[in-house]
Chains A and B, each alone.
Chain A
Amino acid sequence: MDRFVFLTVDGLSRGAVYAAFALALVLIWRAARVVNFAQGAMAVAAAYVAYSVSAATGWYWLGFGVAIVAGLVLGAVVDRVVMRHVDHASPLNPVIVALGLVLLIQAVLGMVYGNEFRPAETPFSRSALQVGGVAVLSPYDLFVFATIGVVVSGLAWMFARTPVGLRMRAAAFAPEVSRLLGVNVGGMLTLGWALASGVGALAAMLVIPTELGLHPHAMDLVFVSAFTAAVVGGLDSPPGAVVGGLVVGLLLSYVSGYAGSDLTPLAVLVLLLAVLLVRPGGLFAPVAARRV
Chain B
Amino acid sequence: MSATGAVLPPKHRPAEPGDRPAERRRGSTLLRHLAVVLAVGALLVAVSYSVEPFRNFQLATVAAYLCATAGLTVLTGLNGQLSLGHGALMAVGAYTVALCQNAFADRGMTGGWLLPLSLGAAIVATVAVGAVVGVAAARLRGPYLAGVTLAVAVVVPALAVTFDGVFNGEQGLSVPVEPPPLALGPYFPYERWQLWLTGAATLLALLLLANLIRSRYGRTFRAVRDDEVAARLAGIHVARTQVLAFVVSAATAGLGGALLAVLAQSVSPGAFSLTLSLFLLMAVVIGGLGRLTGALWGAVLLVALPDLTHSATELLTLSPAVAQRLEGNLPLAIFGLTLIVVMIAAPGGVQGLLSRLGRALLARWPARRS
Contacts and interface: CB of A to CB of B under 8 A. Distances in A.
A34 B2 CA distance: 9
B285 A273 contact: no
B282 A95 contact: no
A150 interface: no
A107 B144 contact: no
A165 interface: no
A18 interface: no
Nearest to B326: A111
A108 B144 contact: no
Nearest to A113: B325
B151 A101 contact: no
Contact of B335 (A33, A89, A103, A266): A103
B320 interface: no
B329 A92 contact: no
Interface of B is mostly: helix
Given A92-B80, A290-B4, A220 B144 contact: no
B151 A224 contact: yes
Contact of B144 (A33, A105, A231): A231
Given A272-B148, A292-B228, A292-B232, A93 B3 contact: no
Contacts of A108: 329, 333
Interface residues on B, range: 35 or more
B82 A95 contact: yes
Contacts of B159: 265-266
B328 interface: yes
A37 B344 contact: no
Contact of A99 (B9, B281, B329): B281
Interface residues of A, number: 54
Contact of A82 (B5, B325, B340): B340
A225 B212 CA distance: 37
Nearest to A105: B336
A265 B343 contact: no
Contact of A272 (B3, B80, B151, B275): B151
Contact of B344 (A85, A90, A92, A228): A85
Interface string B2-19: 111101110010000000
B339 A100 contact: yes
B229 to A, nearest CB: 6
A292 B229 contact: yes
Contacts of A265: 154-155, 158-159, 162
Interface string A101-126: 11111111011001100000000000
A95 B339 contact: no
A266 B343 CA distance: 32
B151 A268 contact: yes
A35 interface: yes
A93 B330 contact: no
Interface string B298-334: 0000000000000000000000010001101111110
Contacts of A277: 136, 139
A224 B329 contact: no
A217 B332 CA distance: 13
Contact of B347 (A87, A95, A102, A280): A87
Contacts of B1: 33
Interface in B336-361: 336-340, 343-344, 347
Nearest to A84: B344
Contact of A266 (B140, B142, B162, B338): B162
A66 B82 CA distance: 36
Interface in A205-224: 217, 220-221, 224
Given A89-B9, A103-B336, A268-B155, A110 B278 contact: no
17 contacts: A82-B344, A91-B142, A96-B339, A97-B343, A99-B339, A100-B335, A102-B336, A103-B275, A103-B336, A104-B336, A110-B328, A114-B321, A220-B274, A263-B162, A269-B152, A272-B151, A276-B144
What 9 pairs across the A-B complex have the smallest Cβ distances? A103-B336, A104-B336, A100-B339, A107-B332, A91-B142, A107-B333, A35-B143, A110-B329, A262-B162
Given A99-B339, A107-B336, 14 more contacts: A90-B8, A97-B339, A100-B340, A103-B332, A104-B337, A106-B332, A108-B329, A224-B147, A224-B154, A227-B147, A228-B151, A265-B162, A272-B151, A290-B4
Interface of B: 1-5, 7-9, 12, 76, 80, 82, 84, 136, 139-144, 146-148, 150-152, 154-155, 158-159, 161-162, 228-229, 232, 238, 274-275, 278, 281-282, 285, 321, 325-326, 328-333, 335-340, 343-344, 347
